[in-house]
Structure 1
Amino acid sequence: MTPPTPAIVTQNAVSPLPRWALLLLCIAYVVPGFVGRDPWKSADVTAFGYMLELAQGRTSWASPLLGGMAPETEGLLPYWMGAWAMQIAPQWLPAEMAVRLPFAALLVLTLMATWYGVYYLARSPGAQPVAFAFGGEANAPDYARAIADGGLLALIACLGLAQLSHEVTSYVVQLSCTALVFFAVAAMPYRTVAPACALVAGTVGLTLAGAPALAVMLGALSAAVVVFAPGSGADRRLRWAVVIAGVVVAAALLALALDLWRWRIVGTAAGGKEWQSLARLLLWFGWPAWPMALWTLWRWRKQVFNLPGHRHLLLPLGFLALSIAATVATAPADRALLLGLPAMAALAAFALPTLGRSVGALIDWFTLLFFTVSALAIWVIWIAMQTGLPAKPAANVAKLAPGFEPQFSALALAVALAATVGWAVLVWWRASRDRAPIWKSLVLPAGGATLGWLLLMTLWLPLLDFARSYAPQVRSVMAVVGPAPGCVQTLGLSRAQVAALQYHGGLELTRAGLQDECDWLVADIASWPASERKVNAALWELQATLPRPTDKNDQLLVLRRVGSAP
């Protein structure tokens, strides 16, 4: 016998979140971070460097190189997307902005796929609330919309989503493709064309973005959910299982043809992950979705492994388990965990119809205090940067970012003020009375996360650009070599450093040993003095040692050929 559902929801509790409010929240979350900032170190600027090389025709589309180095990830689709965007963009649009447009669209796609995926999971028979003896329980479509609103709010509230989802890396492509596969499997009992297109696009996209193993594992998991956690008749289940198997096989063959299969498991004996670091990552990255996901598993524990399985639980649980396994076994850990956030948010959403009043109040008060204090700290430090008062925060900024000159932007101030007023209105709305909608407990977490991200990307953007980009260090290099140094040799530089020198400095770079006519050499401090096979150190004279202002361990050496013309 199927255990009774723990969801007890009235029709009054499933009124939808106003569409204008949800749309405004998504815009406020998506746009900041894609507009007006420099490429940040190191994955962001590295990916941008490869895209710039492709767009300007300086390297092969099939095997791109940056400073003579191939990409660390095998999937080329993200680089192609950025390069195509630069090529078709109007000339007045800056290159870094043109690159970000398709990735902003991918983040929007992730949010949409998550909402629709949770919606269709909430339509599952096993997810429905308890039917009341005299009626009045929530009807299925309204209940599904309310749960989907909660799922989207939970995703936006995740602290780890903000920065990584606003980069131009392969992981943003992988995130959107994972969300597409998630939506496809969730919608299979109710739709045909949209799930099929999403399944193909997501699986092939994952493969071309450098994650063929994940595409295959997600496909196998999806087939298992279709078979063992049915939401439709046996004939339809069998057809979908065959379709999934065919798409997975095609993706595996495509990865084999393009030589995309790589062993990425991190061994625990040599260079393995530190468990304390992983625990901290798991603790903050998915906050506040992961405590609510655990609550869901506890309150729905009788339904999780009941056969036939409950797809609204097994599907997100399986996706999340694969993401956590990849987090533990592969590197980088945070970007592997990023792919599990839509599934984590879906699990968190199904906690909403089971939360008691005391638990909801605890979430509200903690969120209110945390994000209000955080926003206040951002404002105080910004005021200190602009005016010098309070003196202690201003001194701390000067110590941590030596050489930083505060900048004032009326537009940034206006946007930040509007966001802060919006937060105050949201808090007033939540505290003014006992609200009925079940998504109310996630309004403050999502609104607070959006407020914090927007304030950072407006008030603190000049400081963050100074601290997290290579632009200040490149300006120091250009001050030494002059505006027209000719060719510049490089030694021991990372991909990110090469990309920054080419973009911010417009330098013509060549690896040391490939061209002897260059008068200048830029080397990483760890690679100097060089071996005789690469560079004859006696031919070069040190001109300057230039650290990145916020990291004294990240230093570049600028050397000039002995006897070259001044």
Structure 2
Amino acid sequence: MNLPTPAIVAQSAVRRLPRPALLLLCVVYVLAGFWDRAPWKSQDLEALGYMLQLAQPALGETANWFRPSLLGQHDPQLALLPFWLGAGFLQWAPAGWEVTFSRLPFIGMLGLTLAATWYAVYALARHPAAQPVAFAFGGEAKPGDYARALADGGLLALLACLGLARLAHEATPALSQLCFSSLIFVGLSTLPRWRLLSGLAVVVGMMGLTLSGAPSVALWLGVGGSLIRAVATIDPVQGRLRMLDLGLLALLCLLCITTAGVLDLWRWRVVPHTLLDVHILAKLMLWFTWPAWPLALWSLWRWRGQLSQVWRYPHLALPLWFVTVTVGATWFTGFSDRALLLALPGVAALAAFALPTLRRSLGALIDWFTLLFFSICALTIWVVWIAMQTGFPAQPAANVAKLAPGFLPAFSAPAFALALLATLAWAGLVKWRIGHHRAAIWKSMVLPASGAVLCWLLLMSLWLPLLNFARSYGPTVQKVQVVTGTARCLQYAGISQAQGAALLFHAQVRLQAATQPSAECPWLVMDEKNLPLLGDRLGALGWTPEATADRLGERSDRLLIFRAKNPAPDHTTTLPEAAKN
């Protein structure tokens, strides 16, 4: 029988997930990957470069906070707010703590994303159409307990998504877009129960998303979500959206349009595709939203009785709308996983509504699959780490030496202790999960979420030195410094913004566009790919090749170092010594 609501849940199935355990899981996930990690190639490093240029402009220059630039180039499609936040915190950073301070607002935004997703699912689950079937003699789950259990499951589903781990731990506009889209999601989900707070969340979310480089997505999410809330059937106890609410939302949309116009943010990067490219998008979604997408599809199937008039049921309509908009944005932006990142809260919300409809056999299948998958992943990480430290087993050690030539592993007692503690906690969780205990509808998401957090933590502790060596420009810049010595000024020609940001951060030098050699700047760096275009011109200016610096032997990412044939005296105005530092 196709019931209007397929959720049949007893009060015993919505027992509370221990708050300390859930909060600890979130804190570990948020901090792992931000703390003690070098900026990675390339968006993470480029973002840091923009922040450094805003917070520490070159002597004689004034930072233009409305037109951030890097290597003298301004991107008209650049997001503003994330760089403002990072540069603002960076100005307060003591020496050696620049990266950590620039990431503080992004740590807060990831935490806010998790909290917003929890409250959004909680509010949607309180909708009358999302509540479980009432039993003839009582005993069904209470509305508040049921909503809290689904919110816990939705948060766990978000933590389990594979695509969240790396992109959500980079200080880039992608994370700020995720945060502000989540605020729009929670604001619309809680309307009209909490009008003031909900309206504030929508205001901050739409304006933040506009200033984070996605004004079109902000309007689509805000306008479409507002219409869904306007036509949805709301319980009289909760109240209905008033014309004043819709008027305020309309004014907010107008404000976003005006802001985007004033700051010249209305620019499009539409990449044409054909239907033959659908498989590319499908592959991206399969791994990026795993393991939440199978549950989301199951949820749509089990709640199909409400899909014929989905606009009346915000617990389905709002997540579907957010997923549809962000998948569309992914399609039109060249299959960017950074655009698809915004779909994860909606996918997690849909996955949460599958939990009260899961059969016991399907729940057991999820448990065993995730148990094997994440246990094998964790074991692999440990085996490779042991091989790096001891040389045994020989094959993993040889693979590391081949893929990262020049890497010298070092033992870190804090990292080892943290990884060991997390692994023991995973073993205890597995023992609890396979034991006999009362059923809870969120139990099927405990192992996927905890396994994802475990593997991410192991990577960011045991493998962090290796990943920093392989994914950062630190070793490359060290090779440059071996050649250039104590030079505090470098000229550049034909380098990428990531390479320029690496020189600014790792070498802490002043960069100057290529001109004739001078006594102040007697060295020049250039990307080897541009040698055929610029080689003759640089030779005419008086530069001669001296050495090369590559990333792990990659010819596609190699810097050429030029020295002056006969450095001429610098006839420009002499800068104070402090400016050279």
Q: For this structure pair, what is the TM-score category when the shorter chain's length is used for normalisation?
A: over 0.9
Partner of 2:255: 250
> Quick one: structure 1 residues 247 and 3, their matched pair in 2 at CA, closer, same or farther if it must change by over 3 Å?
farther
The alpha-carbon deviation at position 236 of structure 1 amounts to 2.6
Partner amino acid, structure 2, of 1:81: L
The alpha-carbon deviation at position 487 of structure 1 amounts to 2.7
The answer to whether structure 1 residue 61 and structure 2 residue 33 are counterparts is: no
Partner of 2:82: 78
Range that drifts further, 222-231 or 455-464: 222-231
Partner of 1:267: 272
Query: Which string of whole-angstrom CA distances, capped at 9 and with x for unpartnered residues, describes residues 204-262 of structure 1?
Result: 00011111101110111112211222325685343332222211111111111111100
Partner amino acid, structure 1, of 2:270: I
> Quick one: structure 1 residues 367 and 273, their matched pair in 2 at CA, closer, same or farther if it must change by over 3 Å?
same
Matches within 5 A, 1:37-436: 37-58=37-58, 59-71=63-75, 73-89=77-93, 91=94, 94-231=97-234, 236-268=241-273, 275-306=278-309, 309-331=312-334, 333-436=336-439
Does structure 2 conserve the Cα–Cα contact (< 8 Å) formed by 1:530 and 1:537?
A: no
Query: Which string of whole-angstrom CA distances, capped at 9 and with x for unpartnered residues, describes residues 285-304 of structure 1?
Result: 00001110000000001112
The answer to whether structure 1 residue 458 and structure 2 residue 492 are counterparts is: no
Partner amino acid, structure 2, of 1:239: L
Does structure 2 conserve the Cα–Cα contact (< 8 Å) formed by 1:226 and 1:241?
A: no
> Quick one: structure 1 residues 332 and 72, their matched pair in 2 at CA, closer, same or farther if it must change by over 3 Å?
farther
SS in 1 for 2:74: coil
Query: Which string of whole-angstrom CA distances, capped at 9 and with x for unpartnered residues, describes residues 87-127 of structure 1?
Result: 234x2560000011110000000000000000000000100
Aligned equivalents of 2:541, 2:126: Cα separation in 1: 73
Aligned equivalents of 1:505, 1:189: Cα separation in 2: 53
The answer to whether structure 1 residue 560 and structure 2 residue 563 are counterparts is: yes
The alpha-carbon deviation at position 444 of structure 1 amounts to 0.2
Aligned equivalents of 2:534, 2:553: Cα separation in 1: 30
Aligned equivalents of 2:141, 2:134: Cα separation in 1: 8
> Quick one: structure 1 residues 516 and 563, their matched pair in 2 at CA, closer, same or farther if it must change by over 3 Å?
closer
Partner of 2:574: none
> Quick one: structure 1 residues 481 and 128, their matched pair in 2 at CA, closer, same or farther if it must change by over 3 Å?
same
Does structure 2 conserve the Cα–Cα contact (< 8 Å) formed by 1:158 and 1:288?
A: yes
Partner of 2:501: 499
Partner of 2:543: 540
SS in 1 for 2:495: coil
SS in 1 for 2:550: strand
The alpha-carbon deviation at position 31 of structure 1 amounts to 0.7
SS in 2 for 1:340: helix
The answer to whether structure 1 residue 475 and structure 2 residue 478 are counterparts is: yes
Query: Which string of whole-angstrom CA distances, capped at 9 and with x for unpartnered residues, describes residues 16-47 of structure 1?
Result: 11100100100110111110010001000100
Aligned equivalents of 1:550, 1:127: Cα separation in 2: 56
Partner of 1:14: 14
Point out where structure 1 has 5 or more consecutive residues left out of the alignment. Answer: none
Aligned equivalents of 1:550, 1:346: Cα separation in 2: 44
Aligned equivalents of 2:566, 2:536: Cα separation in 1: 21
Partner of 1:513: 515
The alpha-carbon deviation at position 195 of structure 1 amounts to 0.4
Does structure 1 conserve the Cα–Cα contact (< 8 Å) formed by 2:310 and 2:316?
A: no
> Quick one: structure 1 residues 432 and 72, their matched pair in 2 at CA, closer, same or farther if it must change by over 3 Å?
farther
Point out where structure 2 has 5 or more consecutive residues left out of the alignment. Answer: 569-581
Identity of aligned residues (%): 53
> Quick one: structure 1 residues 162 and 525, their matched pair in 2 at CA, closer, same or farther if it must change by over 3 Å?
same
Query: Which string of whole-angstrom CA distances, capped at 9 and with x for unpartnered residues, describes residues 373-428 of structure 1?
Result: 00000000000000000000000000000000002110000000010001001111
SS in 1 for 2:162: coil
SS in 1 for 2:392: coil
Partner of 1:29: 29
Aligned equivalents of 2:270, 2:225: Cα separation in 1: 23
Does structure 2 conserve the Cα–Cα contact (< 8 Å) formed by 1:524 and 1:557?
A: yes
Does structure 2 conserve the Cα–Cα contact (< 8 Å) formed by 1:530 and 1:536?
A: no
SS in 1 for 2:512: strand
SS in 1 for 2:557: strand
Does structure 2 conserve the Cα–Cα contact (< 8 Å) formed by 1:231 and 1:311?
A: no
Does structure 2 conserve the Cα–Cα contact (< 8 Å) formed by 1:222 and 1:244?
A: no
> Quick one: structure 1 residues 349 and 307, their matched pair in 2 at CA, closer, same or farther if it must change by over 3 Å?
closer
Partner amino acid, structure 1, of 2:47: A
Does structure 2 conserve the Cα–Cα contact (< 8 Å) formed by 1:39 and 1:469?
A: yes
Does structure 2 conserve the Cα–Cα contact (< 8 Å) formed by 1:488 and 1:519?
A: yes
Partner amino acid, structure 2, of 1:216: L
SS in 1 for 2:418: helix
Aligned equivalents of 1:5, 1:235: Cα separation in 2: 22
Partner amino acid, structure 2, of 1:265: V
Partner amino acid, structure 2, of 1:373: I
Does structure 2 conserve the Cα–Cα contact (< 8 Å) formed by 1:55 and 1:83?
A: yes
Range that drifts further, 231-240 or 286-295: 231-240
Aligned equivalents of 2:95, 2:545: Cα separation in 1: 39
Aligned length, in residue pairs = 560
The alpha-carbon deviation at position 316 of structure 1 amounts to 0.3
SS in 2 for 1:554: strand
Aligned equivalents of 2:11, 2:489: Cα separation in 1: 71
Partner amino acid, structure 2, of 1:247: L
Query: Which string of whole-angstrom CA distances, capped at 9 and with x for unpartnered residues, describes residues 475-495 of structure 1?
Result: 011111112x24321111111
